[in-house]
Amino acid sequence: MTMKELLEREFATIPELIRLNAAERPEHPALLQDDRRLDFAELDAAMDRVGVTLQRAGLAAGDSIAICAATSIEYAVLFLGAVRVGVIVAPLAPSSTPQSLVAMLDDCAAKLLFVDDSVAKALEPVADQLRMPRIALRPAAGSGGLDGLGHWLADSRDRPSPVELAPDAAFNVIYSSGTTGTPKGIVQPNRMRWAHVSRGADAGYGPAAVILLATPLYSNTTLVSFFPGIALGGSVVLMAKFDAAKYLELAQRHRVTHGMLVPVQYQRIMDLPEFDRFDLSSFFMKFCTSAPFSAALKRRVIERWPGGLTEYYGMTEGGGSTILYCHLFPHKLHTVGQPAEGHDIRLIDEGGAELPRGADVVGEVVGRSSSMMLGYHNQTAKSREAEWFDAQGRRFIRTGDVGRIDEDGFLVLMDRRKDMVISGGFNIYPSDLEAELRQHPAVADAAVVGVPSAEWGETPVAFVVRRAGHGDAPDAIRRWVNDRVGKTQRLADLKLIDELPRSAIGKVLKRELRDGYRA
């Protein structure tokens, strides 16, 4: 069967596509990191070895393993090899607290845990609470090979026992966070991952593509680019840790065509004085998702960085997604684009009633598509809370985001519903205040949260990272902003901060700011 025939099927699998790439272009580079590379023939064989080893260890389709480590070739091979035999992968964030990791491991019922040295050390205080064997995942120092898994992999050239991957069987469990508290496990089925791959050709993925990934492999942000890239025959360049200058060096060296970055990474790259010295002419498309992407930053990227720029808006849970082709719609950079093909985006009010279409209608965004989670693992009530059903009984996923749909069908996001500040009965959207703050010459970055107020119920407070070389006082910046916003929007306080707390994929951790201010 050819690649074209596979992609025309209603459902196929990522391991099938990789097997086909190995047959058609065995020596084509599949995975690259530092001075190491794995071609498609080596990748396919390594996936088989992982599958055989898992089966010999007693794991069957539907069982789970967990990986908690920095990005490496071994990590990618392990993930793909487990998928080949129907074993569910739970990629966990190394930044999680040890107790949170224990909770996630218990929740996903992992039979094996793969860790790197730093995670192994972090888990020492809770070692007696871990119920599964731990296997070291050590990236090799030399070129090629899989030395970091060699001590565990079966010495076999056999293929694993074949497993049929059903469309609605679980592919992986992605945990919603992990820095504090107990995150929710989002169960993504094979059908959802296939939907990502099957539309990958539209984004230019294929054998000529070179994809540079600088976000971690445990993040869905990375995986929505990694799986289409590798499955459709592209070469994936992995970075274990993001560095703006290093990113540009790798992009130039490998003649990168595709990149997935989050907004804070774009900001750091564009701020580099040496940005224009790099040859980035090979870029076909750059992608962005996961956090608010300001119109001003989008404009800087499309004006100075060759190739297109596409912003995706959606959730790890799936549902409806929107796409903004920034280079094609420069007058719509304040939006997150139009619904993707086959995706249904609607607005509902606080009571769950569907709102009529209208450019001034504001409500919670809900969405439906073929890319939807099965639910939250072991959390039926939470799964129901995340769902909304229309009058015909069709299932949608609630985003928790507040927005409006303009006269051209582009979605304009206002804010997270949980981050919206209700002061004196008025809705205040922190994103509006943050955008205003960033207009001040002394402000490099800003976040606004709501804090309790005896007089108003809630009131907005700003946290500002001051631009280097500016000594403006907090009160002066606050007065400047308050003179430019509505009376109900005025900031009650403004705090200077060295750096906004962010997750590994660049989301501002507003709960930390809110809790710190209250304390």
Q: Give the end of a domain, one of 188, 217, 250.
A: 188
Domain co-membership, 381 together with 497: no
Cα separation, 374 vs 11, whole angstroms: 17
> Which residue pairs, CB below 8 angstroms and at least 24 apart, start in 198-203?
198/7, 198/12, 199/228, 199/340, 199/341, 200/228, 200/229, 200/231, 200/232, 201/7, 201/232, 203/228, 203/258, 203/285, 203/287, 203/310
* Pick from 176, 206, 161, 262: nearest CA to 28: 206
Chunked mean pLDDT (size 10), the chain, 519 residues: 88 97 98 96 96 97 97 96 98 90 95 94 93 82 56 89 97 74 85 94 96 95 97 98 97 98 93 97 96 92 98 94 97 97 95 91 95 94 95 96 95 86 82 92 94 87 94 94 90 96 86 90
Q: In Å, how far are 192, 325, 440 from 307, measured between CA atoms? A: 28, 11, 30
Q: What radius of gyration do the chain's Cα atoms show?
A: 23
pLDDT, tens digit, 9 for 90 and up, residues 163-186: 999 999 999 999 985 433 467 899
Domain co-membership, 492 together with 409: no
Query: Which amino acid, one-letter code, is at 392?
Result: Q
* Pick from 265, 254, 275: nearest CA to 210: 254
What residues does 134 pair with on adjacent strands?
Answer: 113
pLDDT at 422: 81
Domain co-membership, 139 together with 41: yes
Q: Beta-carbon neighbour count of residue 204 at 10 Å? A: 18
Residue whose entry in the numeric block shows the structure tokens 């890319």: 371
Query: Which amino acid, one-letter code, is at 362?
Result: V
Residue 259 lies in a domain: no
CATH number at residue 509: 3.30.300.30
Domain co-membership, 160 together with 71: yes
Domain that holds residue 69: 3-188
What residues does 464 pair with on adjacent strands?
Answer: 446, 496
- Taking a C-beta distance cutoff of 8 angstroms, is the pair 399, 318 a contact? no
Q: Give the end of a domain, one of 370, 397, 416.
A: 416
pLDDT at 112: 97
pLDDT at 142: 44
Domain co-membership, 382 together with 487: no
Q: Give the end of a domain, one of 366, 389, 416.
A: 416
Domain co-membership, 369 together with 495: no
Cα separation, 63 vs 55, whole angstroms: 10
* Pick from 439, 444, 423: nearest CA to 489: 423
φ, ψ (nearest 5 deg) of residue 82: -65, -45
Cα separation, 461 vs 495, whole angstroms: 8
Domain co-membership, 499 together with 408: no
pLDDT at 146: 54
CATH number at residue 48: 3.40.50.980
Residue 82 lies in a domain: yes
Domain co-membership, 140 together with 172: yes
What's the domain count of the chain?
A: 3
Domain co-membership, 343 together with 458: no
Residue 296 lies in a domain: no
pLDDT at 333: 97
Domain co-membership, 429 together with 409: no
Q: Judge residue 147's burial from the number of C-beta atoms within 10 Å of its C-beta, 0-12 exposed, 13-18 middle, 19 or more buried.
A: middle
The pair of structure tokens assigned to 29 is: 């580079």
Residue 26 lies in a domain: yes
pLDDT at 457: 83
Up-side HSE of residue 86: CA atoms within 13 Å toward CB?
Answer: 17
pLDDT at 144: 42
CATH number at residue 408: 2.30.38.10
φ, ψ (nearest 5 deg) of residue 366: -125, 155
Domain co-membership, 147 together with 47: yes
Domain co-membership, 141 together with 7: yes
Residue 240 lies in a domain: no
Q: Greatest CA separation found in the chain?
A: 72
Q: Beta-carbon neighbour count of residue 151 at 10 Å? A: 9
Residue 115 lies in a domain: yes
Residue 227 lies in a domain: no
Cα separation, 68 vs 504, whole angstroms: 14
- Taking a C-beta distance cutoff of 8 angstroms, is the pair 360, 334 a contact? no
Q: In Å, how far are 87, 165, 192, 224, 383 from 169, measured between CA atoms? A: 10, 7, 10, 18, 17
Residue 497 lies in a domain: yes
